[in-house]
Amino acid sequence: MPTIALPILGTAAAWRDAARGLLAAGVPPQDIVWQHGAVAADLFADAPATSGPGTATVPRSFVHLAATVCWHSDPERFGRLYALLWRLQGSDGLTQDHGDPDLAKLRAMEKAVRRDKHKMTAFLRFREIAPVSGRRRFAAWFEPDHHILEPVAPFFMRRFGDMDWVIATPALGATFTSGSISFGPGRTKPPLPEDATEELWETYFRNIFNPARLKVKAMTAEMPRKYWKNMPEAAAIPDMIASAGARATEMQSAAPTRAPARAAIIGRRLGMTDDTPPVDGLDALRRDAEGCTRCPLHRDATQVVVGEGPSDAPLMVVGEQPGDQEDLAGRPFVGPAGQLFDRFADEAGLDRSRAFVTNAVKHFKFVPRGKRRIHQKPDAGEVQACRWWLDAERQLVRPGLILAMGATAAASVTGKGQGIMKRRGTFEAAEDGTPVLLTLHPSYLLRVPDAGARAAAERDFRADLAAAARWLADHAA
Amino acid sequence: MSRLSLQDKLAILSDAAKYDASCASSGTAKRSSRKGDGLGSTEGSGICHAYAPDGRCISLLKILLTNFCIYDCAYCVNRVSSNVKRARFTIDEVVTLTLEFYRRNYIEGLFLSSGIVRSPDDTMAEMVEIARKLRVDEGFRGYIHLKTIPDADPALIEQAGLYADRLSINVELPTDMSVKAFAPEKNPVTIRKAMADVRLRKEAAAERSHTGRRGARFAPAGQSTQMIVGADGATDATILGQSTRLYSSYGLKRVYYSAFSPIPDATAKLPLIRPPLEREHRLYQADWLLRFYGFALDEITAATVDGNLDLHVDPKLAWALANRGAFPVDVNRAPRDMLLRVPGFGTKSVARILTTRRHRTLRYEDLVRMGAAMAKARAFVTLGGWSPGALTDSADLRARFAPPPEQLSLF
């Protein structure tokens, strides 16, 4: 009966090599005795000659499982792994079976090792000790449940790369000096010098705790008592628990105190600030619009998006409402539809910087859908409520021509939104007589699914923008 | 005023910071100091280095730069009208505390917030300077979370995002009206604008230039926010509606719900009734259902009473009890989205069920080994070796899960 003795260091790799050889040689699981940490290397002589790597194909997930389970403290682990490996030959789906008892046991062991490793990275505490090189030096004592110091050491190497450190455990010790690691024998708990920072840490631990919400079980579920003895802050826990109730009651029953005198002074000073006068009428309008609650849309949007452009612009472009990007940026026509408009306007010879661009509705209307916001068409009431702002913008800018894009803009400016496909390309008049050129909304161009229809829509849109440019050229005084 | 020691300041400024629930240190870029040219590492998941008896994880050194504040927010211990002791760290004190705690493996990094002094810009500039010193001068690779100040200059937010892993701004309360009532100096629109700005900057940084190069990473662990629950009259439906909106609008990684907690030196404006901590827990559960289990907001709110989640049973169970017609679910046949709706099945159990049933038919014992909570699930599933029979429709099903009713005290 072959006896396989695996070394304390490099256990996982050694198990893998041995298992590969045994499998190739066809040695069944019940014939093998596995040992861990038995010393002499020549015990390996007992192992059957390996017939070289690559003889067995094993699912990757099993390789990962074995690489972790090998560090478990259960003496049965090597045998259990090999028995499963044996079963795996010829049963394809087994590693994907989450109900198989053998596999479930190994997965539980894997989880235990992972948790132990994680807790070590969490609860190990260093104390500063005298340096041996130019680098600061720290030492820690930790008592893991499993053989995890070697697999967890790279974490500490990545994390504490610029200092020297020593980690002692009962089974093994690790020393990291000037960037290289070495392992030595285990030991009993070493006496470590006092570290003044521990007092600061305890102060922090005591004060970050909220006595009004005592949940001891939640704490011990994640930080079991077995770890406490090596954590400097844990000594404070019993007292923190004992005094929590009284502290919380005291907070609740304390009568409100009088505010300190400086509160009133600061309050007065705060009230006085933020009174810079508006630069012009548009600036004043923007400030007023920020507080607008004329319709419910202000509740869900980020901010109001008012028009933008020179206050003497000959052309006013009216769209439907700000979209996702406009709502975030607080500026009109910056999203995909706005960019499309810019491109076509440029082609048609319309100077965007000389136009005042705005929307019929000033807040973004949407429904949340996961990580996205789905645009919703504003209803007649919202358009009506927001007309107040559009009219105010028109009064300030007094454009010679209004370009109304889409049904909502048409409804807001001319009072009628229907039949935009028939009305587009024609000039109508706003209530005050300002000429209004109707056209499609650029987001329609983005949404038409059919390529032929899209080409037609683009042609129409281009023609309408060109018509606007011609009108402006004809009426440039 | 006598000079405070570092220890006194730490006591005051950590006490002042504890009402911020966020402690996450996960999901940021991978960094390491293996080459010995710096200190610290981040690798995907964060680590909780300790737990306090309030059950909260301690992952970061969570402190305020100062608890002096010119604002008067009713729910806050640091409001201008409170008589708590005040203190202020220097920039170097924060840098040193962070590094020394980190070297001893106490923390994953720094969570820095602050009261508002003089002007938002001055305060924000000091916070950015601390982050810069840690990153640039000290070669610190650990985690940095900065609480940004909504009114601060956008140029400062830009810099903050270059040094910090995560930025956050608290919306504080679920409705604009409550913010106006309880935090009169804060402007909900300004807070939203600041979150929108962070999202836009993050998106801009992720875009490649015409040469194919990416800009410097901006807040790689994203942004989060916090809402105080139970200080105003908002229902759970309102709160979840607000979160849904926030998640969809600003690409938030997390919305934290913080049950309003009695504070020292409270104001008379707020009732010091402690909302049940269970409420906070139920909100988190509902939040998860919305984000990872395919539930729609109205499905969850439909199963509430007066818009508040049932405190005795979890929201998924509440939904299942109200929609028994959809059960029992055949575990061997049901699609993923229906399995996710079974009380007692988490996303992991469902993934295990799906991979296993490709190869064979599942039995009851398999589910137990997969880690499904069968005490809950058994009434809602059918599979080899198990049929719930009349259990699914039994009148006392809810009573099996809810704690027994308490008799009112006679005295």
Asked if pLDDT for residue B69 goes beyond 50, the answer is yes
Specify if B282 maps to a domain. Answer: no
* Residues B20 and B128 grouped into a single domain: yes
Task: List the 84-103 stretch of A: residues with Cβ below 8 A of B.
Answer: 93, 96-101
| B284 within domain boundaries | no
Query: What is this structure's pTM?
Result: 0.92
Residue % of chain B over a pLDDT of 70: 97
Point out the domain boundary residue: A160, A185, A210. Answer: A185
Contacts of A300 in chain B (CB under 8 A): 245
Within this chain, do residues B165 and B29 fall inside the same structural domain, yes or no?
A: yes
| Residue A337: predicted pLDDT | 94
Residues A49 and A170 in one domain: no
Whether the CB of A292 is below 8 Å from some CB of chain B: the reply is no
pLDDT category at A262 given cuts 50, 70, 90 is confident
* CA proximity to B47, closest of A340, A136, A124, A450: A124
Q: What is the mean pLDDT of chain B?
A: 91
A263 lies in some domain: no
Identify the pLDDT of residue A51.
46
pLDDT tens string A178-207: 999 999 999 999 999 999 999 999 999 999
Indicate the number of domains in chain B. 2
Do the domain assignments include residue B187?
yes
A271 domain residue, yes or no: no
Q: What is the residue range of A78's domain?
A: 3-118
Contact criterion met (CB < 8 Å) for A259 and B248: no
Is B23 part of the contact surface with chain A (CB cutoff 8 Å)?
A: no
pLDDT of residue B118: 77
Question: Mean pLDDT across the stretch A212-216?
Answer: 90
Question: Number of folded domains in chain A?
Answer: 4
Give the gap in angstroms from C-alpha B395 to the nearest C-alpha of chain A.
32
Across B116-131, average pLDDT: 91
User: In this predicted structure, which of A36-45, A428-437, B234-243, B325-334 has the lowest mean pLDDT?
Assistant: A36-45
- Kind and range of the H or E element at A117? helix A101-123
The one-letter amino acid at A56: A
Instruction: Assess whether pLDDT exceeds 80 at residue B411.
Output: no
Q: Among B177-181, B268-272, B309-313, where is mean pLDDT lowest? A: B268-272
- Full domain range(s) for residue B362: 315-401
Same domain (yes/no): A209, A335: no
A364-378 mean pLDDT: 94
Residues A322 and A367 in one domain: yes
Complex confidence, ipTM: 0.93
- Encode pLDDT of B318-353 as tens digits: 999 999 999 999 999 999 999 999 999 999 999 999
- Same domain for A201 and A176: no
SS3 A293: coil
Q: Does B334 share its domain with B186?
A: no
For residues A159 and A209, membership in a common domain is answered with no
Strand partners, B305: B308
* Whole-number pLDDT of residue A254: 79
Please say if the pLDDT value at position A455 is more than 90.
Answer: yes
Q: What is the pLDDT of residues A217-234, one digit of tens each?
A: 999 999 999 999 999 999
Shared domain for B209 and B323, answered yes or no, is: no
Task: Read off the pLDDT of residues A432-445 as tens digits, 9 standing for 90 and up.
Answer: 999 999 999 999 99
On the question of pLDDT at B274 being above 80, the answer is no
Domain end, chosen from B191, B222, B253, is at: B222
Note whether B195 and B341 are same-domain residues.
Answer: no
Whole-number average pLDDT of chain A: 91
Average pLDDT value for residue range A370-387: 94
pLDDT value of position A45: 46
- Pairwise CB contact (< 8 Å): B274 & A212: yes
pLDDT exceeds 90 at position A268:
no
Domain end position, chosen among A89, A118, A147: A118
pLDDT tens for each residue of B197-223: 999 999 998 887 777 777 778 999 999
Decide which of A250, A268, A294 is a domain's last residue: A250
Instruction: Indicate the pLDDT class of residue B362, thresholds 50, 70 and 90.
Output: very high
In a domain, B155, yes or no: yes
Pair (B216, B343) in one structural domain: no
* Structural domain ending residue among the three candidates B222, B254, B275: B222
Which residues in chain A touch residue B189, judged by CB atoms under 8 angstroms apart? 290, 302-303
- pLDDT at A264 (0 to 100): 83
**What does the alpha-carbon distance between residue A11 and residue A15 come to, in Å, rounded to a whole number?**
6
Is A312 within a domain? yes
Picking from A110, A69, A75, the residue whose alpha carbon sits closest to that of residue A5 is A75
Q: Which residue in A140, A198, A252 is closest to B272 by CB distance? A: A252
- B336 and B213 housed in the same domain: no
- Nearest CB to B33 within list A159, A222, A263: A159
Average pLDDT over residues B105-124: 92
Q: Do A171 and A45 share a structural domain?
A: no
Instruction: Note whether B189 contacts A: Cβ–Cβ < 8 A.
Output: yes
Q: Would you say residue A421 lies in a domain?
A: yes
Query: Does residue A177 register a pLDDT over 60?
Result: yes
Mean pLDDT of A305-324: 95
Residue B271: per-residue pLDDT: 66
Q: Do A97 and B356 touch (CB under 8 A)?
A: yes
Q: Which pLDDT band holds residue A133 (cuts at 50, 70, 90)?
A: confident
Are residue A104 and residue A149 in the same domain, yes or no?
Answer: no
Q: Which A residues in the span 116-145 are in contact with B, Cβ-Cβ below 8 Å?
A: 118, 121-128, 136, 138, 140
Residues A307 and A407 in one domain: yes
pLDDT range class, residue A274, cuts 50, 70, 90: low
Q: Is A192 inside any structural domain?
A: no
Same domain (yes/no): A210, A167 = no
Looking at the structure, tell me whether residues A402 and A349 fall in a common domain: yes
For residue B399, pLDDT beyond 90: no
Highest averaged pLDDT of the listed ranges A48-52, A247-251, A394-398, B397-401: A394-398
Q: Are residues A91 and A113 in the same domain?
A: yes
| B168 part of a folded domain | yes
Domain end among B188, B222, B256: B222
* pLDDT band, very low/low/confident/very high, at B2 (cuts 50, 70, 90): low
Question: Both A330 and A245 in a single domain?
Answer: no
Beta A180-185 vs A172-177: how paired, if at all? antiparallel
- The CATH number of whichever domain residue A330 belongs to comes to 3.40.470.10
What mean pLDDT do residues A286-301 have? 91
Q: Do A104 and B106 touch (CB under 8 A)?
A: no
Q: Is residue B216 part of a domain?
A: yes
Give domain status of residue A399, yes or no. Answer: yes
Tell me whether residue A63 is in a domain: yes
Q: Of A461, A457, A444, A474, which is closest to residue A403 (Cα–Cα)?
A: A461
Report the amino acid identity of residue A327: D
